[in-house]
Chains A and B, each alone.
Chain A
Amino acid sequence: MSEKVLLVDDEGDFLEALSQRMTSRGMEVTTTTSAREAIKKVEEGSFDAVILDLMMPEMDGLEVLQTLKQKKPEIQVILLTGHASVAKGIEAMKLGAMDFLEKPAEIKELTEKIKKAQAKKMILVEKHNEEKIQKILVDRGW
């Protein structure tokens, strides 16, 4: 099953090149240069992974991360940054990021992390569905 990825970065040329490379590797890629549009796309669609630039206009990357996790807790977010400090990395993980990569990133490494993101999301969704079924069974006394 091909991975569904949302790429979010204010550099259009970066998005264009990376999305082409990801598409040629079998992924289904959506791109946006706007943080607010990214939130809207996540609300309306279903993505296995969001690759999110940390420094963007409109909204700070960590703020976007927090909002995405509030709207879709199962979404897996991989942050991309020009400077991956330990402090920022810890802050990002605490807010629910799946991983934290420094630009320029190796496509092989990014692809592996996206596959992991898809697997992790599937586990979370299955767990959530199981919990829902359990609750129905309990509520109905079956």
Chain B
Amino acid sequence: MKGEWEILGQEGFQFFGKMSASISHEIKNTLAIINENAGLLEDFTIMAEKGLPLNPERLKGLAGKICVQIRRADRIIKNLNRFAHSADERVKAVDLFEILELVTALSERFAARRSLTLALVPLPEPLSLTTYPFFLENLLWLCLDFVMAQAQSGKTIFLTGEKRPGGLQIRFTGIENGNGNRPSDFPSPREKALLGVLGGDLHFDVFKREVVLTLPQDLRS
């Protein structure tokens, strides 16, 4: 068990670091856009001081673009906040869709870099589970990372969740016509360590080419 917790600790740090770095990059991008649009406003002001007429529509447009980026940055920070708070309590009741939504949002930038789209399918009913939120997010990320590596560029990866006898099931699909790579080691020791602490099961269905994660609805029972 000590070995598993060492893996969990190392993997947890790497996961947290990776997501934090990605979030900081995205915030920098929004700041860069705000910076350039604010700079344009300044340029127009200088031109107006030299006698060139100001175009109100253009100014309105620039103000609108700045607001769009501020709202974008706010969403990014909200996700960072939710992610950071997922480590507050070890075991707690969480809404499955909210967790899937958060991990999808955190993973979008990585998907975009591989020219992939992520799509979270609405759940047929509200589902909650009592588990380790941070470890679950870590495992969901590892599943997504694996599926993204299998998928062809330009495709959409779908995440779905549903209630099953004995627990909940999360499926990752969209690699039906994948790049043909055979997964050499999945689940690897990292996923196995997380599955151990979450009480779950994970397998890659080679024929349907989907990843299926099964979890107990209440880790304490």
Which residues of A approach B to under 8 Å, CB–CB?
A: 10-11, 13-14, 17-18, 20-21, 24, 55-58, 80, 82-83, 102-105, 107
Partner of A55, one of B25, B33, B34, B114: B25
Interface of B is mostly: helix
B21→A83 contact, CB < 8 A: yes
A17→B40 contact, CB < 8 A: yes
Q: Which of chain A's residues have a CB closer than 8 A to the CB of B26? A: 82
Q: How far is the CB of A55 from chain B (nearest CB, A)?
A: 6
Q: Which of chain A's residues have a CB closer than 8 A to the CB of B39? A: 17, 21, 107
Known: A20-B40, A21-B39. A14 touches B115 (CB 8 A): no
In the complex, A104→B66 CA distance in Å?
14
Q: How far is the CB of A125 from chain B (nearest CB, A)?
A: 31
24 A-B pairs whose Cβ atoms sit less than 8 Å apart in the complex:
A10-B112, A11-B32, A13-B33, A14-B33, A14-B36, A17-B36, A20-B40, A21-B43, A24-B47, A55-B25, A55-B113, A57-B113, A57-B114, A57-B115, A58-B115, A82-B24, A82-B25, A82-B28, A82-B29, A82-B32, A83-B28, A103-B29, A104-B34, A105-B35
In the complex, A105→B26 CA distance in Å?
15
Q: Which of chain A's residues have a CB closer than 8 A to the CB of B79? A: none
Q: Which of chain B's residues have a CB closer than 8 A to the CB of A21? A: 36, 39-40, 43
Which residues of B approach A to under 8 Å, CB–CB?
A: 21, 24-29, 31-37, 39-40, 43, 47, 65, 68-69, 112-115
Which of B21, B26, B40, B115 counts the most chain A CB atoms within 10 A? B40
| Nearest 8 Cβ contacts at the A-B interface | A82-B28, A17-B36, A104-B35, A103-B32, A82-B25, A104-B32, A14-B33, A13-B33
